[in-house]
Structure 1
Amino acid sequence: MTPRHDENTVFMTEQEAERIRNTVKIRLQRCSELAGHARETRDSKDAIRQATGASLMADMGAADPDSAQTKTQRGTLPVIAVGQPYPPCMLPLRDLQPMKLSNLRMDTHHRGRRLAVKRASPVVTLVARSWTMVFDEEEGGEIERLEVCLHKTRHGQDILESASVFVIKEPYFTLTDQGEATLRIDHPSDLVVCQDETANDILASLNEAKDDVDGVTAAAEKFARACKDHGNAALEKQNLPLAHAKYTEGLKVARQNIVSKSNPDLARDLSRNRAHVNLLLNQLDEAKADAKASLTGRQDQRSRELDSKAYFRAGCAAYNLGAYQEAKAFFEEQRKLTPGNEAASAYLRKIETRLHEQENGAFNFQKIRAGLSRSRPRADAASFVGGTEVRESRLPGRGRGRGLFATRDVAAGEVVLCEKAFCVVWGHEMEALTAMTYDVRDGGIRASPVGLTRSVVQKLLGNPSQVKRVMDLYGDYQGGGNDNVPTKMRPAEEEGPVVVDVFRVHGIVSRNAFGPGGDENGVGSSSSASAGLWVRAAYANHSCVPNAEKEYAGDLLVLRATQPIAAGDEILHAYHDGSSGDYSARRRALMTTWGFECDCALCAAEAADDPAVLKRRKELAEEADAFVGREHWAGAKRVAVARAKRLARDIEGTYDGERYEGLPRLAARTILEWLALAGQRR
């Protein structure tokens, strides 16, 4: 057995760390000095020339000149300052007062205001942000920089490139890391993308129509049908965002009473088509709502076929949300309408398997693993969490809040919990991205899976029903922007997307995400490590002497008991792989990554050791690791086995027998495993 090394570890010199700290501190100091000062006017030609040149350089793969970065052995990572969160705007546009570019003040959140701008230059698309120059048409060409940080895409399309006109809610005007003035967007919902105003013009005509009602209604129907046709054409070309936008425009008009009375099937057709697009975009809440809205309830053959299609789409959405009983009801309705439909029957068979997994924890792991590959790393399986509950932790002196407890007796080796990830980003996928984060609150520099943070935000934006359970997890920043977020889809006529506080998501991911492991699934490197968020498992607290351990089958996390667990016991597992035998290193890792000091029985015993003993134990453990890396256990000669036994005895001798009674000797684990394997060959 070879010693394990973390391939995703990022090593940084103290000089590099200090450079990062200084870059952020200088920016913060400059922001503090300029706070409230009036904005300085830009030269429009120079600004557009600057953006055009930067866009060309970015397209050629050049580094971001206006954002801090750091170099590692495996590439360049962006550096992101955290610890200065602010809530997203919770007000609709109609409740915000308009402002102009000339009204901007430095390092200021302009609460209660909105700013309409138009893109004036190419978009500079970089790894962790995108920016462009925008102008205010009402002010004769006043121009300013606008950047979207981290959460800069929607459905794979850059937000700033998706349109030319935007409205910024409660604009935040500040500085970049290099001192460049900019309008900064962190929360996606703070930037409203303005699409074609034709739909709104039609709606206004409908509301104002008095004399020629029939003519206006006919024009509205014509517009909605054209939107449907444009959406269908975009769907055929796999331009899903455009298809969704066109169907949505058509629905705004087709759902108006005067139009729906004239042609009720028009809104149903648009809803049915948008349900399909929403499934492809993983917007499952809206897909289900659209499919249900498209039902006719009529019994003629054509209507039965259309309703069958709608039930299928609603069933797929419910299945992918893990709502298997609801999905079962939808597919059963589909099969009633089209008894020979094999797709419905196939889903119903799968649902029976999922329900069995969900209720009994009976998983065919061999079959699940056999179906996994680099191109299909996500398991088709249910979550089994019924034997657990979340309540206040009873661990002494930790202040950890909630923990995960068993509600049934669990034998050693038995599955305690099996959970599908809420979200996983694999290292080989385009969404994967690791960044160095400098936390201004404690000066800590950490490698953070910001690609996972982005993906969690995207999933929440598309599935508002999931917001509450994710936001209920612990994070360093509680925020104030999500208390009023709906837990169901907003009606289609309401303005804008669901509001998601990205700073809360970052804090939650930082304290709850794990690397799923498994090189066959493309774990990645330090710049693009795999990471996932499992909501239920996130409540399980850490111990260096755990009673459960993690294993993975794709994105399926399995907590398996390592010793008998009685009903009512708290479920504990080691947050770091293998529980390092180096007490100091383990202590630093837990504080750096997870933000706490472990005070389990093992850590308490090691804390009482003399520093000289800890040093000697570390030296022996390193010697043992070097030995294991050099001498393979298969066919090991007697002299090698004797050497291994001496190392094991020497390491064992650093542990006080009385204080460590019943506790593992982690420093000796590697060499003992080697001896066990070598012994099997004799």
Structure 2
Amino acid sequence: MANTIFLTEQEAERIRKTVKERSKKCSEQTGHEREPRDKTAAHQQATGAALMADMGGVPDPDMTQTKGRGDTIPVVAVGQPYPPCAVSLEDLQPMKFADLRMETHHRGRKLTVKRLSPVVTLVARSWTMVQDEKEEEAERLEICLHKSKHNEDILESAKFFIIKEPYFTLTDQGEATLRVDHPSDLIICQEEAHGTIPGDDAAAAEKLATRYKAQGNTALKQQDLPLAHAKYTEGLKIAEQDVLGNPNPDLARDISRNRAYVNLLLNQLDEVVTDARASFTSRDDQRSKELDSKAYYRAGSAAYNQGRYQEAKRFFEEQQKLTPDDKDAKTQIKKVASRLRERETGTYDLVKIRSGLSRARPRIDAASFIKNTEIRDSPGRGRGLYATRSITAGEIVMCEKAFCVVWSHESEALTAMTYDVRDDKIRVSPVGLSKSIVQKLLSNPSQVESVMHLFGDYQGDGRNVSATEDGAVVDVFRVHDIMSRNAFGPGDQYEDEGARNASTGLWIHAAYINHSCIANAKKEYIGDLMILRATRSIKSGEEIFHSYDESKDYDARQTALMTTWGFQCSCALCTAETEDGQAIRDKRMELVGEADAFIEKTPWAGAKRLAIRKAQRLAQSIEDTYDGERYRELPRTAGERIQEWLAKASPRK
């Protein structure tokens, strides 16, 4: 019961009412002109709210009371999606506060703002007051859910922002606000502009770029990685300019090499390879070889971390050519060889992998083995996973490293109640996983397509733009729906897991496996490695199934499948149980309850004959609820536990 979140009927109704009333107010005000704010009052409002939020003095409006443990949990409304801006800043037209219209997505426009007040940081959103470029007017700006980057609140990370295609709407409390749902719609601006370089002064340009490089180095030493990245980026913009036809390529290479290292630490792996390539000198002197060796190592590490092992191998081999005595290159080449072997053969040292797991290191270093499977159309189910060769019972079908996983003990773990206006249902949702997936995609645009190709209820606007000149474009609403239909829990491997902080992850290839209550494969987890084994022989070309929900209760199972994954199962077992009728199913589950209670209080070891006879009667009573003809070739799952008890308790002959 500790792992269950209870919501009172009053709270559920309050959530529905709040969302519906906001929607109605927004609809009524669509297109209305913005009402100006008083700057002083706006500043005071945000300052007071920020102080009270830090002190815990004012209830978070996003939180709702739950029963059982008496605490609260955030509420997020879903099902009202809109696409992110898919246009570069240079192609957007500037606008002013006076141009804002209520409940409007200002397509084709951009709005430059400066933070006016402290940031109010809440669980599911952050907000602040901002002013226009002329510092004449003020307005509220909020970021919903996806409000941090590299563990720093986005609104606190800078003073200046550009909002792409601003969405002007109302809060749940009826206050006007600029609302940002897609992080890619908010561009962070550096306060110190590099546009002051004398256009004909190469020495001044080089001096300024060198200063940015030094500032980046200082920030790196202080482990302020976002700031180091920003300073290196500014320095590169200048160092790469051809001032009077006399650029300083070595300075640009040095900054690119340094930024590659910072990007590696920030897990911005796409940029690592780009920066490393830009830093190559290709010269034969020893110092240049050592510098290029560093760049190759960083590029190889990035490719390795993205599972691009052949590419990583080439980078590390080039590193070794330049610095043959480098131990890091030798170590990495050996690791790559192990990953390639795992990927090709599906052979893993599972004992070693298990022994290396801990709360501090919950993710394993292993490759995905998927070559025995392929994605194909599945009649009536969309797409599915099929065997490319015959697989025997007990054999590994596939192993896959999680694309993204959030463990229960990690700070990223966040559970929310989501109210979906599309079906009027309130669900428990691991929104912390959604946030982590979005952050990973923002850092690595090359991976956007593979995630967005998965099934989700919301399909977006069909443009499927994954990046512009401003960076990655990620539709957070699509990510939420994809996560909701495709994520799984790897189990409580590191303890302290409950409904409020359940471990969840996304395995992209495994997401194509369809459900059946009569599965031919079963999954298990070692860390973030999903291992799928055949439970019976699978023929080449046969579709692979595993069970999304293994409840013995037909009604509970169907409810869970519909609520979480959005479908009703019609496999042969479910068809037979449907034909049984409600009375038979209820009788069967009543007997299962008796059998489970018996098992809990009666150890099989040393069981007396009287106990064994009682177990036999229970097992037979459960068996009698099954129609012999209808279940001739179907599993009779309700009696499995009591049958297992009997197999252990009965005297061996």
Using structure 2 for the length normalisation, give the TM-score. Answer: 0.96
Instruction: State whether residues 51 and 124 of structure 1, in contact with CA within 8 Å, keep that contact through their aligned partners in structure 2.
Output: yes
Q: 2:237 corresponds to which residue?
A: 252
Residues 1:672 and 2:643 are matched in the alignment: yes
Q: How does 1:648-667 map to 2 (within 5 A)?
A: 648-667=619-638
* CA-to-aligned-CA distance 1:547-585 (integer Å, 9 cap, x gap): 001100100001110000011000000012xx1111111
Amino acid at match of 1:527: R
Residues 1:594 and 2:568 are matched in the alignment: no
Instruction: State whether residues 5 and 66 of structure 2, in contact with CA within 8 Å, keep that contact through their aligned partners in structure 1.
Output: no
Query: Structure 1 CA distance, aligned partners of 2:238 and 2:39?
Result: 39
Instruction: State whether residues 70 and 76 of structure 1, in contact with CA within 8 Å, keep that contact through their aligned partners in structure 2.
Output: yes
Instruction: State whether residues 437 and 447 of structure 1, in contact with CA within 8 Å, keep that contact through their aligned partners in structure 2.
Output: yes
Q: 1:10 corresponds to which residue?
A: 5
Query: Structure 1 CA distance, aligned partners of 2:638 and 2:131?
Result: 63
Query: Structure 2 CA distance, aligned partners of 1:169 and 1:36?
Result: 19
Please state how far the C-alpha of 1:374 moved relative to its aligned partner.
Answer: 0.6
Q: 1:513 corresponds to which residue?
A: 487
Query: Structure 1 CA distance, aligned partners of 2:410 and 2:244?
Result: 44
Worse-superposed segment, 39-48 or 308-317: 39-48
Query: Structure 1 CA distance, aligned partners of 2:446 and 2:260?
Result: 17
- Helix, strand or coil at the partner of 2:255: helix
Q: 2:300 corresponds to which residue?
A: 315
Amino acid at match of 2:333: L
Amino acid at match of 1:244: H
Instruction: State whether residues 67 and 178 of structure 1, in contact with CA within 8 Å, keep that contact through their aligned partners in structure 2.
Output: no
Please state how far the C-alpha of 1:660 moved relative to its aligned partner.
Answer: 1.1
Q: What's the % identity of the aligned pairs?
A: 64
Please state how far the C-alpha of 1:440 moved relative to its aligned partner.
Answer: 0.6
Q: 1:103 corresponds to which residue?
A: 99
Query: Structure 1 CA distance, aligned partners of 2:651 and 2:43?
Result: 71
Instruction: State whether residues 239 and 247 of structure 2, in contact with CA within 8 Å, keep that contact through their aligned partners in structure 1.
Output: no
Call closer, same or farther: CA 1:545–1:19 in 2, change over 3 Å: same
Please state how far the C-alpha of 1:64 moved relative to its aligned partner.
Answer: 4.9
Please state how far the C-alpha of 1:118 moved relative to its aligned partner.
Answer: 1.3
Q: How does 1:620-631 map to 2 (within 5 A)?
A: 620-631=591-602
Instruction: State whether residues 369 and 400 of structure 2, in contact with CA within 8 Å, keep that contact through their aligned partners in structure 1.
Output: yes
Q: 1:504 corresponds to which residue?
A: 478
Query: Structure 2 CA distance, aligned partners of 1:527 and 1:400?
Result: 31
Amino acid at match of 2:282: G
Call closer, same or farther: CA 1:677–1:219 in 2, change over 3 Å: farther
Call closer, same or farther: CA 1:288–1:439 in 2, change over 3 Å: same
Instruction: State whether residues 159 and 191 of structure 2, in contact with CA within 8 Å, keep that contact through their aligned partners in structure 1.
Output: no
- Helix, strand or coil at the partner of 2:499: coil
Residues 1:400 and 2:374 are matched in the alignment: no
Residues 1:223 and 2:225 are matched in the alignment: no
Worse-superposed segment, 671-680 or 335-344: 671-680
Please state how far the C-alpha of 1:670 moved relative to its aligned partner.
Answer: 2.5
Please state how far the C-alpha of 1:197 moved relative to its aligned partner.
Answer: 4.0
* CA-to-aligned-CA distance 1:174-215 (integer Å, 9 cap, x gap): 11222222111001111111113422333xx43xx3xxxxxx
Q: 1:444 corresponds to which residue?
A: 425
Query: Structure 1 CA distance, aligned partners of 2:648 and 2:6?
Result: 32
Residues 1:193 and 2:206 are matched in the alignment: no
Residues 1:141 and 2:136 are matched in the alignment: yes
Q: 1:213 corresponds to which residue?
A: none
Q: 1:583 corresponds to which residue?
A: 554
Amino acid at match of 1:199: H
Query: Structure 2 CA distance, aligned partners of 1:538 and 1:361?
Result: 19
* CA-to-aligned-CA distance 1:380-424 (integer Å, 9 cap, x gap): 000001110001003xxxx32100000011110000010000000
Residues 1:555 and 2:555 are matched in the alignment: no
Q: 1:130 corresponds to which residue?
A: 126
Call closer, same or farther: CA 1:59–1:631 in 2, change over 3 Å: farther
Query: Structure 1 CA distance, aligned partners of 2:172 and 2:598?
Result: 47
Q: How does 1:168-317 map to 2 (within 5 A)?
A: 168-202=163-197, 205-206=198-199, 209=200, 216-258=201-243, 261-317=246-302
Instruction: State whether residues 66 and 176 of structure 1, in contact with CA within 8 Å, keep that contact through their aligned partners in structure 2.
Output: no
Q: CA RMSD in A?
A: 1.8
Please state how far the C-alpha of 1:116 moved relative to its aligned partner.
Answer: 1.5
Call closer, same or farther: CA 1:340–1:63 in 2, change over 3 Å: farther
Q: Which has the higher contact order (CA 8 A, sep 6+)?
A: 1
Give the alignment partner of residue 607 of structure 2, picking from 603, 623, 636. Answer: 636
Query: Structure 2 CA distance, aligned partners of 1:448 and 1:549?
Result: 24
Instruction: State whether residues 64 and 126 of structure 1, in contact with CA within 8 Å, keep that contact through their aligned partners in structure 2.
Output: no
Please state how far the C-alpha of 1:135 moved relative to its aligned partner.
Answer: 1.6
Query: Structure 2 CA distance, aligned partners of 1:344 and 1:680?
Result: 60
Give the alignment partner of residue 444 of structure 2, picking from 451, 457, 463. Answer: 463
Please state how far the C-alpha of 1:626 moved relative to its aligned partner.
Answer: 2.3
Query: Structure 2 CA distance, aligned partners of 1:661 and 1:66?
Result: 56
- Helix, strand or coil at the partner of 2:196: helix
Call closer, same or farther: CA 1:260–1:152 in 2, change over 3 Å: farther
Query: Structure 1 CA distance, aligned partners of 2:36 and 2:479?
Result: 35
Amino acid at match of 1:53: G
Q: 1:565 corresponds to which residue?
A: 538
Q: How does 1:40-189 map to 2 (within 5 A)?
A: 40-61=35-56, 64-67=59-62, 69-73=64-68, 75-138=71-134, 141-189=136-184
* CA-to-aligned-CA distance 1:597-635 (integer Å, 9 cap, x gap): 001111000111121111111211222222233333334
Instruction: State whether residues 634 and 678 of structure 1, in contact with CA within 8 Å, keep that contact through their aligned partners in structure 2.
Output: yes
Q: 1:340 corresponds to which residue?
A: 325
Please state how far the C-alpha of 1:482 moved relative to its aligned partner.
Answer: 5.2
Residues 1:327 and 2:298 are matched in the alignment: no
Please state how far the C-alpha of 1:520 moved relative to its aligned partner.
Answer: 3.3
Worse-superposed segment, 157-166 or 129-138: 129-138
Please state how far the C-alpha of 1:63 moved relative to its aligned partner.
Answer: 6.3
Instruction: Give ranges in structure 1 of 5+ residues lacking alignment.
Output: 210-215
Query: Structure 1 CA distance, aligned partners of 2:465 and 2:265?
Result: 28
Q: How does 1:410-421 map to 2 (within 5 A)?
A: 410-421=391-402
Q: 1:473 corresponds to which residue?
A: 454
Instruction: State whether residues 521 and 554 of structure 1, in contact with CA within 8 Å, keep that contact through their aligned partners in structure 2.
Output: no
- Helix, strand or coil at the partner of 1:670: helix
Amino acid at match of 2:94: P
Query: Structure 2 CA distance, aligned partners of 1:611 and 1:350?
Result: 56
Q: How does 1:518-537 map to 2 (within 5 A)?
A: 519-522=492-495, 524-537=497-510
Please state how far the C-alpha of 1:13 moved relative to its aligned partner.
Answer: 3.4
Instruction: State whether residues 174 and 181 of structure 1, in contact with CA within 8 Å, keep that contact through their aligned partners in structure 2.
Output: yes
Using structure 1 for the length normalisation, give the TM-score. Answer: 0.92
Please state how far the C-alpha of 1:476 moved relative to its aligned partner.
Answer: 0.5
Instruction: State whether residues 63 and 72 of structure 2, in contact with CA within 8 Å, keep that contact through their aligned partners in structure 1.
Output: no
Query: Structure 2 CA distance, aligned partners of 1:135 and 1:353?
Result: 55
Residues 1:22 and 2:14 are matched in the alignment: no
